[in-house]
DNA sequence: GGAGTCCTGACGGTTCGCTGACATCATCGG
DNA sequence: CCGATGATGTCAGCGAACCGTCAGGACTCC
């Protein structure tokens, strides 16, 4: 099995056609015929790649994309649309899609793009880690414990912790944190991130003044490590 | 500077147009007007991305692509062509191109694709283990180790090291370093670069007074070698 | 309206990086 | 071979950047 592909597409003919071709190529395929179903299946089933139609009943492709990206879905997404306007193409790519195909398209071209995207993505592997040190995080329950005892975290603190955890071991810049946690896109001038980091350290580090897990990387950002 | 882009394109109007638009976006741009020149410049200058026309005098785009890939060039390549047949698209993608745009194309779309490719490539590169001698560099974590032991580097030292590493084996002039690390564009009169090189040698070379990796090339700049 | 939460701006400590002076080295002509 | 010349190595100190910290006020949600 070469990988799992989720096709979010409301046109049955197109959806089944894609599934057939992808399965012939050796992919495992799931279908979703509207936006909300697509979001749910992407997050539950964790496909290796999502083919996402732009025009969908209920929730358009942009919102689907934003939603799953905000939920931490990091696999490549290939956008599919009938509209040919360039502004849409740009919007799709900039809002987190990895590639873009305009209908009508050739199946061979689509398969080639799928393959290229998966080859790129296969180098990056996922972290399923759920904690660090004596700290455990239960994402489903949204509960954090330290040495077994629950630690109450404010919403922003929890989101910040998740953003760091999703990239455990890597340096995350303040801008990235601002974008992924707060949704802002601007450069930083405030001490907002720092303040919340301090609070996280106070609640999660054994010695907050000498942090061993939530580390500062000067001039670059913060790094969470086990 | 967002990255270095090599444009291999024989049509002067198109080439200059691309260069202007890319430079406005903050990329550093080089042009090559035929295949062999493109190959040479890609291998020498080590761009972060290559925009490659399919139809070129002397050596067509496919051969250029094959040649530079065989020579170990791993950065993304965006193919550019007037032909619209799908067979060509597939051939381009399968032969190692990362994306494909058909003329006529909108500049905004092209720029968006360039950005998407570079973003993807940068995340892939972060996981690759690179270094020289006993020194390893983890770009994602921003950690440098020597013989397994972490070496604390000041921000500028780290950035300087990366700039040298990105062009490993090639001589990098002080002006280039000033531009890529410090963002300045002026001619050099200070000992700033030298000072930091000294510090890097002290921390990373086995014998700082007889460097084996961070080498001085008199009247030209510095060169990093394995 | 009260409790909790979040952001901002200010302050201070620490580290960093640039500068300028001097030492040393490579190169080349005599 | 030797000295002149210009390029590079080295060092210390000061000003600035950067981050930790905190308190006040605005906001939200009961």
Q: Which of A86, A113, A120 is facing B124, going by the closest CB pair?
A: A120
pLDDT digit string, tens, across residues A62-118? 778 877 876 667 788 888 876 554 455 555 555 567 777 777 677 777 887 888 778
Q: Sheet of A221-224: strands edge to edge?
A: A171-172, A221-224, A214-217
**pLDDT at position A127:** 33
Instruction: State the sign of the Cα–Cα–Cα–Cα dihedral B201, B205, B206, B211.
Output: negative
Assess whether pLDDT exceeds 80 at residue B1. no
pLDDT digit string, tens, across residues B207-223? 888 999 999 999 889 99
B196 beta carbon to strand C: under 7 Å:
yes
Q: How confident is the model at residue B30 (pLDDT cuts 50, 70, 90)?
A: very high
Shortest Cα distance from B31 to chain A (angstroms)?
Answer: 25
Q: Do B141 and A225 touch (CB under 8 A)?
A: yes
- Map tokens 């279908």 to a residue: A31
Task: List chain B residues with CB under 8 Å of A84.
Answer: none
Residue of B nearest to A114 (CA): B93
CA to C1' distance (Å), from A160 to C18: 35
CA to C1' distance (Å), from B217 to C30: 27
**pLDDT at position A120:** 66
| Cβ atoms within 10 Å, residue A11 | 15
DSSP A188: P
Q: Where are the alpha helices (DSSP H) in A122-191?
A: 155-166, 174-177
What average pLDDT does the segment A9-37 reach?
87
Q: Which residues of B touch A (CB under 8 A)?
A: 86-87, 89-90, 93-94, 98-99, 106, 108-109, 111-113, 115-116, 120, 123-124, 126-127, 140-142, 154-155
CA to C1' distance (Å), from A158 to D29: 18
Q: What is the pTM of this model?
A: 0.58
Read off φ and ψ for residue A119, nearest 5 degrees. Answer: -65, -45
Average pLDDT, chain B: 84
Strand D neighbors by CB, 7 A: A 191, 194-195, 197-198, 201, 208-209, 216-221; B 191, 194-195, 197-198, 201, 208-209, 216, 218-221
Is residue A104 reached through a cis peptide bond, with omega within 30 degrees of 0 on the bond before it?
Answer: yes
| Closest-approach nucleotide to residue B189, Cα vs C1' | C19
pLDDT digit string, tens, across residues A137-188? 887 678 898 988 889 999 899 989 988 987 888 899 998 888 778 876 565 6
What average pLDDT does the segment A2-7 reach?
89
Q: Which of B98, B120, B141 is facing A170, going by the closest CB pair?
A: B141
Task: List chain A residues with CB under 8 Å of B108.
Answer: 86-87, 89-90
Q: Which of B21, B65, B91, B93 to mutate to test the interface with A (most CBs of A within 10 A)?
A: B93
What average pLDDT does the segment A116-129 reach?
55
Q: What is the β-pairing status of strands B135-138 and B143-146?
A: antiparallel
Residues in contact with A216: Cβ distance below 8 Å, sequence separation at least 6, in sequence order: A197, A222
Residue of A nearest to B96 (CA): A116
Instruction: State the sign of the Cα–Cα–Cα–Cα dihedral A86, A87, A88, A92.
Output: positive
């Amino acid at each position: 099995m070469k990988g799992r592909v989720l096709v979010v597409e409301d046109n049955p003919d197109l959806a089944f056609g894609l599934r057939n071709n992808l399965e012939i190529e050796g992919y495992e395929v799931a279908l979703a015929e509207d936006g909300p179903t697509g979001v749910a299946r992407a997050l539950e089933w964790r496909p290796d790649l999502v083919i996402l139609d732009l025009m969908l009943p209920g929730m358009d492709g942009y919102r689907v994309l934003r939603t799953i990206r905000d939920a931490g879905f990091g696999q490549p997404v290939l956008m599919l649309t009938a509209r040919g306007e360039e502004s849409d193409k740009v919007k799709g790519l900039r809002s987190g899609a990895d590639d873009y195909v305009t209908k009508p398209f050739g199946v061979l071209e689509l398969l080639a793009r799928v393959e290229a995207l998966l080859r790129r993505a296969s180098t990056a592997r996922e972290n399923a880690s759920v904690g660090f040190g004596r700290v455990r995080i239960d994402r489903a329950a949204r509960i954090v414990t330290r040495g077994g005892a629950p630690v109450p975290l404010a919403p922003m603190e929890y989101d910040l912790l998740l953003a760091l955890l999703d990239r455990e071991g890597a340096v995350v810049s303040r801008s990235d944190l601002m974008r992924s946690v707060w949704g802002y896109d601007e450069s930083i001038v405030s001490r907002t991130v720092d303040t919340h980091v301090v609070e996280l350290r106070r609640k999660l580090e054994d010695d907050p003044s000498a942090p061993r897990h939530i580390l500062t990387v000067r001039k670059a950002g913060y790094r969470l490590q086990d």
